[in-house]
Amino acid sequence: MESEIQEGLANASLAEDKALSKKAAKKEAAKAEKLKRQQDAAAAASAAAAAADEADPLADNYGDVPLEELQSKAITGRKWTKIGSLTVEMGGSEVWIRGQAQIIRAVSKNMAFVVLREMGFTVQCVLTVKPGEVSRQMVRFVSGLSRESFVDIFGVISVPGMAIKGASQQ
């Protein structure tokens, strides 16, 4: 009778080992599947990043500027407009403005808002993707700027339909 009990215990332990090995196999398979999904996601993300970082034909229109070009003694040939002198009558005209980025807010991959400040005056600038003028990389670059960065902008003045609460110049 003892031998039957021992055989029964041995069979029970074999059954438990098989059950444990089945559970272990399922766990290993789940881990392998999870790892494969993570690798696929990482590969897809790197491919998307590589596509986004491809050479931007408009890269000459934006980027970091050497300090010498920002100094007032540098001669650029540009006609600068003071932010405080922007008026409604100037609507539709193209201007160069320089100021410190007070607020930078990306709305989407294709649009960003920048509030520039110069001597107490502020103006809101809108950057939208337009083929041949503004690229997604440019919007991403602007979105990554730190506050208080000095920014030079060449743009067209548009008069807003409603007053902009966050800017002194409309």
DSSP 50-63: HHHTSPPTTGGGSS
Q: Which of 14, 31, 54 is the last residue of a domain?
A: 54
Residue 33 lies in a domain: yes
Residues 69 and 145 in one domain: yes
Q: Which pLDDT does position 54 carry in this prediction? A: 66
Which range is least confidently modeled, 13-17, 103-107, 149-153? Answer: 13-17
Residue 139 lies in a domain: yes
Structure tokens at 79: 């006609």
CATH of the domain at 80: 2.40.50.140
Helix (H) or strand (E) holding 7: helix 2-52
Mean pLDDT of the chain: 79
Q: Which pLDDT does position 16 carry in this prediction? A: 56
Enclosing domain of residue 130: 59-156
What percentage of the chain has pLDDT greater than the value 90? Answer: 1
Residue 166 lies in a domain: no
Q: Which pLDDT does position 78 carry in this prediction? A: 82
* Residue 164 burial (CB count, 10 A): 14
pTM > 0.75: no
The DSSP call for residue 33 is H
Residue 165 lies in a domain: no
Q: Which pLDDT does position 62 carry in this prediction? A: 82
CA distances for 164 relative to 152, 155, 170, angstroms: 21, 18, 7
Euclidean distance between CA atoms 41 and 43, whole angstroms = 5
Q: Which of 19, 38, 54 is the last residue of a domain?
A: 54
Which range is least confidently modeled, 10-19, 30-39, 134-143? Answer: 10-19
SS3 104: strand
Band the pLDDT of 11: cuts 50, 70, 90: low
* Per-residue pLDDT tens over the stretch 71-122: 767 777 788 888 888 888 888 889 898 888 888 988 888 899 989 998 888 8
Residues 72 and 151 in one domain: yes
Instruction: Give me the number of domains the chain comprises.
Output: 2
Band the pLDDT of 51: cuts 50, 70, 90: low
Give mean pLDDT, residues 160-170.
73
